[in-house]
Amino acid sequence: MLNVDLWGKYKRLRETVYKKYSKMHHAEHLHGPNVLVLSPHPDDDVFACGGTLIRHISQGHTVKVVYLCNGGKGITGKSETEAANIRKQEAKAAAALLGLHEENLHFLNMPDDRLFRQEARAAALLKPLIDRFKPDLVYLPAFTDNHSDHFSTNRILKATAPAKAMIAAYEVWTPLVPNLVVDISAEMDRKTEAIRAHRSQLHELNYLDAIVSLNRYRACLYTKKKMAYAEAFCYAPAPDYFALFD
Ligand SMILES: [Zn+2]
């Protein structure tokens, strides 16, 4: 973990993005059509925005996922190589359940928990993908999310400078300050199946209850529309989002 000033980061988020783009809103039609998801570990994509990705695909958008770390430290009792292999298979199975084709999954195979040492290398691997794909929208963990690899993912994207993209920052380890809520009530069953595909991770922690509860919490707190489950994001143009952290 980095020794981050989480409260300072939250304040910057609230005082800039949240005020500028103000009110929490609900999006029926999502921005696209080229959607890139940065998933620091092989499960963050499904946990954080799996329901929203199903909706993008049903709108006809192209969704590509880049998995930065190999997940090699994520299975107790397994070597890094064994764990990385298992988790890659789980990521593919889970992504297929969301409707993602394997050709749209990219594994950078960086070592787990040490991304901060290899941000320049990761950015060099990511840049050609971004230049080719030209994403209109990029999902990534919020820079306030309390995991070192998740923060590094923000710095890596910033280094590739996709200036024209919109950013939708998501939450995994730390609830964020949201200004966008996506109703995933109709997609929740499929999302739950995709979470279950990360079998090795459900043995480590009860991610299923954590994520289902988080999605339920977001739905309950959004009062303007009745929904059963929702995913929440901090949504802003890339330059505004990147200005929030170094
Ligand atoms: Zn992660």
Q: Percent of the chain, pLDDT > 90?
A: 78
Compute, in angstroms, the gap from residue 44 CA to the centroid of ligand 1. 5
Compute, in angstroms, the gap from residue 38 CA to the centroid of ligand 1. 10
Closest among 79, 101, 83, 1 to 42, alpha carbons compared: 83
> What CATH number did the domain enclosing 24 receive?
3.40.50.10320
Compute, in angstroms, the gap from residue 83 CA to the centroid of ligand 1. 15
Compute, in angstroms, the gap from residue 224 CA to the centroid of ligand 1. 31
What's the angle, vertex CA 136, arms to CA 161 and CA 219, rounded to 5? 110
The three-state secondary structure class of 184 is: coil
pLDDT mean over 17-32: 76
The chain-wide mean pLDDT, for the chain, equals: 92
Residue 100 within any structural domain of the chain: yes
Predicted confidence (pLDDT) per residue in 78-135, tens digit = 999 999 999 999 999 999 999 999 999 999 999 988 899 999 999 999 999 999 999 9
Number of domains the chain contains: 1
The three-state secondary structure class of 191 is: helix
**Residue 177 banded pLDDT, cuts 50, 70, 90:** confident
Compute, in angstroms, the gap from residue 45 CA to the centroid of ligand 1. 9
pLDDT mean over 29-46: 96
Compute, in angstroms, the gap from residue 41 CA to the centroid of ligand 1. 4
Residue 191 within any structural domain of the chain: yes
Compute, in angstroms, the gap from residue 43 CA to the centroid of ligand 1. 7
Residue 246 within any structural domain of the chain: no
Amino acid identity of residue 127, one-letter, is K
Q: Which domain holds residue 110?
A: 6-241
Residue 101 within any structural domain of the chain: yes
Compute, in angstroms, the gap from residue 150 CA to the centroid of ligand 1. 6
Q: What is the dihedral of CA 24, 66, 194, 93, to 10 degrees?
A: 170
Residue 116 within any structural domain of the chain: yes
Predicted confidence (pLDDT) per residue in 125-155, tens digit = 999 999 999 999 999 999 999 999 999 999 9
Compute, in angstroms, the gap from residue 71 CA to the centroid of ligand 1. 9
Q: What is the pTM of this model?
A: 0.93
Residue 111 DSSP code:
P
Residue 194 within any structural domain of the chain: yes
Q: Is the omega angle on the peptide bond into residue 33 within 30 degrees of 0, that is, cis?
A: yes
Residue 180 within any structural domain of the chain: yes
Q: Percent of the chain, pLDDT > 70?
A: 91
Predicted confidence (pLDDT) per residue in 216-229, tens digit = 999 999 888 899 99
